[in-house]
Amino acid sequence: MKGEQMTKLDVQEPRTATRILDVAERLVQVRGFNGFSYANIAAELQITKAALHYHFASKAELGKALIERYSTRFAEALVDVEAQYTEAPLRLRGFAGLYIDVLKERRMCLCGMMAAEYETLPSSMQSAVVRYIRENKSWLSDVLKRGKEQGSLAFEGSPDEVASMIFGALEGAMLMARPLDDVSGFESSANRLLTGLRPVS
Q: Same domain, yes or no, for 122 and 174?
A: yes
The whole-number average pLDDT for the span 29-54 is 94
Contacts of 82 (CB under 8 A, 6+ apart): 91
Contact 67, 110 (CB under 8 A): yes
Q: Are residues 69 and 158 in the same domain?
A: yes
**The pLDDT value given to residue 174:** 94
For 124-174, how does the pLDDT look when each residue is reduced to its tens digit (9 = 90+)?
999 999 999 999 999 999 999 999 999 999 999 999 999 999 999 999 999
| 5 three-state secondary structure | coil
Q: Is 35 among the domain residues?
A: yes
Separation between Cα atoms, residue 157 and residue 135, nearest integer Å = 20
Given a cut of 90, whether residue 79 has pLDDT beyond it is yes
Mean pLDDT along residues 67-79: 96
Q: Say which CATH number the domain at 66 has.
A: 1.10.357.10
Same-domain check for residues 24 and 68: no
Residues 2 and 76 in one domain: no
Phi (first) and psi of residue 53, to 5 degrees? -65, -25
- For residues 186 and 107, membership in a common domain is answered with yes
Q: How confident is the model at residue 14 (pLDDT cuts 50, 70, 90)?
A: low
Give the chain's domain count.
2
DSSP calls for 143-173: HHHHHHHHTS---SS-HHHHHHHHHHHHHHH
Are residues 77 and 119 both part of a single domain?
A: yes
Domain with 22 in it? 1-57
Alpha-carbon span 37 to 41, nearest angstrom:
7
**CA end-to-end span of the chain:** 67
Same domain, 74 and 29: no
Helical axes 159-180 vs 88-104, angle rounded to 10°: 30
Q: The domain that contains 5 carries what CATH number? A: 1.10.10.60
Q: Which of 36, 57, 78 is the last residue of a domain?
A: 57
* Statement to judge: residues 52 and 64 lie in one domain: no
32 and 75 in a single domain? The answer is no
| Alpha helix (H) residue ranges in 4-58 | 8-12, 16-31, 38-45, 49-55
Q: Same structural domain for residues 80 and 172?
A: yes
> CB neighbours (10 Å) of residue 128?
22
Q: What is the rounded CA–CA span in Å between residue 114 and residue 64?
A: 11
- Residue 200 counted as domain residue: no
Q: What is d(CA 172, CA 108) in angstroms, rounded to the nearest whole number?
A: 11
Q: Do 2 and 99 belong to one domain?
A: no
Q: Residues 22, 91: one domain? A: no
Domain assignment present for residue 30? The answer is yes
* pTM summary value: 0.88
Residue that is last in its domain, among 57, 81, 102: 57
